[in-house]
Amino acid sequence: MIHSGQQSQRAKQVLLGWRLAFSVLLLQFFLFAPLKSLAQDPTLFPRPAELEPAISFWVRVYTEVDTQSGFLHDSQNLDVIYTDLRLNRRAIEARRSQIQEDLRVLATGERGQLTDSQSEILALWPIDVSNQTLRAAASNVRWQLGQSDRFLGGLQRSGAYRQHINNVIREKGLPAELGVLPHVESSFNPGAFSSASAAGMWQFTRATGQRFMRIDHIVDERMDPYTATSAAMSLLEYNYSVLGTWPLALTAYNHGAGGIARAVRETETTDIEKIVANYKGRSFGFASRNFYAQFLAVNEVERNAVEHFGAVRFNPAPNFREVETDAFIDAEVFASSVGISLEQLRADNLSASPCRVGGE
């Protein structure tokens, strides 16, 4: 990559090109055959019965509704989905208000003169649901945007990176299933930014990323999908060494190893399903509680990608060559000398500051 730093520091330039595309079937075999033949080891990635409703919920989010639609659902009991709607804020809020009002009526114990809407909502809950649960549910009606088109886009983009990701995982001796994590984080988008200021395909915050990568006003290696992959696996490896199980290590990827260690102490268990159900840490919100369930869901969806999406045309893996120089060079001159546009050079060197790549 074209990086600039202190004058004594060597700068790197990477020229990216494209390999000839593999056939769709061959690439599908390369990407998914290892995961299908080595199904998730239940001792490494357990699927507790308590998490099955959440896993099923996220499978539906990733396969049934797109980013122009979504679900109104209960945020604590993910097997309770009230309705699916198109993305229209006014209609969503009106339906949410109606559901909340119906839940308040049901919470009074009324079971006789029910409207059709109230009867449909009651049928979503166990037959012995308490009035207290229904009263609480009125405050837990949540909107979840669909992800099916985003997941398919990520699946296509993943073709460019999975060979590298798999190589890093093998070199570190880590479970192959970890390679699906960008589906949860960024849909395999190296240029992704979140509202929480996380960046890149692996969605590192600045503070966490600086433990493993160079992040400054010149270079932000979070945006380099190759460097960031090694950093992500190092972070997961560290989380596992501290916490001892992959469900905890993965949840710590979202919530931090210190936060999960605190959850273990306060709940006196390492069982992820008990922590999800009982830990009340202030910052342990919906995203943290669901992170491991989402990981299991994207593994399931990816293993059954053809069933959900049909034949997938994966992006080909790039073939790139690194060239080291002893000093800074003008990016525009470099791009011209190797026969690519400045825009392509920028796209291929996302970790470099725009002004450095642009030579401005």
Choose, from 185, 221, 273, 300, the residue flagged as catalytic.
Answer: 185
Single-letter amino acid code for the residue at 71: F
Tell me the CA distances in angstroms from 215 to 168, 208, 258, 271, one per residue in order: 21, 10, 22, 35
Phi/psi at 91 (5° precision): -65, -40
- d(CA 99, CA 116) in angstroms, rounded, equals 12
Find the mean pLDDT for residues 79-85: 98
| In contact, 190 and 315? CB cutoff 8 Å | no
Q: What is the pLDDT of residue 2?
A: 41
Q: What is the pLDDT of residue 354?
A: 58
Q: Is the pLDDT of residue 205 over 50?
A: yes
Q: What is the pLDDT of residue 353?
A: 66
- d(CA 167, CA 327) in angstroms, rounded, equals 31
Q: What is the pLDDT of residue 104?
A: 98
Q: What is the pLDDT of residue 4?
A: 39
Terminal CA-to-CA distance of the chain, rounded, Å? 17
pLDDT grade for 40, boundaries at 50, 70 and 90: low
Question: What does the domain layout of the chain look like in residue ranges?
Answer: 11-19+321-358, 24-67+147-309, 72-145
Radius of gyration of the chain (CA): 23
Q: What is the pLDDT of residue 360?
A: 43
More confident residue, 97 or 17: 97
pLDDT grade for 171, boundaries at 50, 70 and 90: very high
Out of 48-62, 266-280, 305-319, pick the least confident: 305-319
For 101-151, what is each residue's pLDDT tens digit? 999 999 999 999 999 999 999 999 999 999 999 999 999 999 999 999 999
For 232, counting Cβ atoms within 10 Å of its Cβ (0-12 exposed, 13-18 middle, 19+ buried), the class is: buried
The hierarchical CATH code for the domain 24-67+147-309 is 1.10.530.10
Find the mean pLDDT for residues 167-178: 97
For 213-243, what is each residue's pLDDT tens digit? 999 988 999 999 999 999 999 999 999 999 9
Chain-centroid distance of CA 106 in Å reads: 36
pLDDT-above-70 percentage for the chain? 86
| In contact, 156 and 313? CB cutoff 8 Å | yes
Out of 57-61, 244-248, 333-337, pick the least confident: 333-337
Which pTM was predicted?
0.85
307 catalytically annotated? no
Find the mean pLDDT for residues 278-295: 97
Q: What is the pLDDT of residue 9?
A: 38
